[in-house]
Structure 1
Amino acid sequence: MTLQESRLVVDEIGGLPGRGAWVHPTRDCVQLALKRRAFVRALRASSPLDAQTLEEWLNSYGNQVNGSK
């Protein structure tokens, strides 16, 4: 994860500039991290973060793992 204009962005290859945060690609881990504000702390953000991009990636990742399209 990286922070771009208060949005969480998935950086699968680790090539984007700036601070990053790592999380297991599971719904449970992501939800727990959001609940505990772990991304805000790890990325040193001063305001709440938009996790919509992260949620969309997580949904598509689950489909790829499960063999769905």
Structure 2
Amino acid sequence: MTASGGLVLPDPDRRAPGRGAHLHPSIECFDLAVRRKAFPRAFKVPGPLDVTGLRDYVAQRDK
């Protein structure tokens, strides 16, 4: 996954420019990362990030 313009986006090919982060493709890991506010820390950005697109992607992969 990668962060761009305040959004956290899936990057399954690991080719997007910039800082990337890894997340297990399960809803449990995603929810834990949100509760711990791990996304801003992983991408070293101040403030909250929109993770709705990533949540949808993880939900589809977790089925």
Quote the offset at 1:62 in angstroms. 2.5
Distance 2:29 2:60 in 1: 16
Distance 1:29 1:60 in 2: 14
Quote the offset at 1:59 in angstroms. 2.0
**1:67 counterpart residue number:** none
Identical residues among aligned pairs (%):
35
Structure 1 gap segments, 5+ residues each: 64-69
State the SS of the aligned residue for 2:17: coil
8 Å Cα contact 2:2/2:20 also seen in 1: yes
State the SS of the aligned residue for 1:11: coil
1:29 aligns with 2:7: no
Name the larger-Rg structure. Answer: 1
**1:11 counterpart residue number:** 11
Quote the offset at 1:54 in angstroms. 0.7
Deviation track 1:35-59 (CA, whole Å, cap 9, x = no partner) reads 1111110101111010110111012
Distance 2:45 2:35 in 1: 15
Return structure 1 stretches of 4+ with deviation > 6 angstroms.
none
Distance 2:46 2:8 in 1: 13
State the SS of the aligned residue for 1:8: strand
Distance 1:59 1:42 in 2: 21
